[in-house]
């Protein structure tokens, strides 16, 4: 049943039409930003924005955040003991299984983007995430609200940074 539901959701997603203005290269986005034609809103989580870096002048307005609730301490102790016995720290241990993750949508996302646009005196916004999918979804959401929204092609990691545009981070 789960597989059928996932297949149906994938089909719907593939047929969903993008209604935002279009995808921009990092160079095109930077040009619009520096000319004062648009702001760049980074929709990644706050932790991603802080710890993986962000482009110069990006405004962080997360589309959603994650909450993590640890599973029972017994499970976490077993996992730690397993790592010690099998030397799994040199490989990949799926520690995410030790937490129940929950996505929490930012209910003020649209209003916050509109406010940032007003404060910056622009009528366009360019959305960016790590590699593109979240920002294109956010661009569609804003476009449905009548906002002139663009998506940064390939996101921060594979668009902005690879274009060697200015960024801040570790």
* DSSP per position, 37-56: S-EEEE-S-HHHHHHS-EET
Lowest mean per-residue pLDDT among 5-9, 14-18, 93-97, 133-137 = 5-9
Q: Which two tokens stand for residue 37?
A: 């034609």
- pLDDT per residue as tens digits for the range 22-49: 999 999 999 999 999 999 999 999 999 9
* Bridge partners (DSSP) listed for residue 40: 126
Other Cβ atoms within 10 Å of 66 Cβ, number: 14
**pTM of model > 0.85:** no
For residue range 104-130, what is the model confidence (pLDDT) as tens digits?
Answer: 999 999 999 999 999 999 999 999 999
Burial 97-120 (b: 16+ CB within 10 A, else e): ebeeeeeeebeebbeebbeebeee
pLDDT of residue 132: 87
């Amino acid at each position: 049943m789960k597989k059928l539901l996932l297949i149906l959701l994938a089909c719907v997603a593939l047929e969903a039409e993008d209604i935002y203005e279009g995808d921009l290269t990092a160079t095109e986005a930077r040009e619009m930003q520096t000319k004062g034609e648009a702001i760049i809103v980074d929709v990644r989580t706050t932790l991603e924005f802080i710890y993986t870096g962000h482009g110069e002048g990006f405004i962080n307005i997360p589309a959603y955040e994650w909450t993590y609730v640890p599973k029972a301490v017994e499970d976490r102790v077993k996992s730690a003991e397993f790592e010690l016995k099998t030397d799994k720290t040199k490989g990949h241990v799926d520690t995410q299984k030790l937490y129940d993750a929950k996505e929490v949508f930012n209910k003020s996302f649209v209003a916050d983007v509109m406010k940032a646009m007003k404060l910056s005196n622009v009528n366009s916004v360019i959305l960016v995430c790590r590699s593109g999918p979240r920002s294109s979804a956010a661009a569609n959401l804003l476009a449905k609200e009548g906002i002139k929204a663009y998506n940064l092609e390939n996101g921060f990691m594979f668009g902005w940074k690879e274009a060697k545009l200015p960024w801040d981070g570790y």
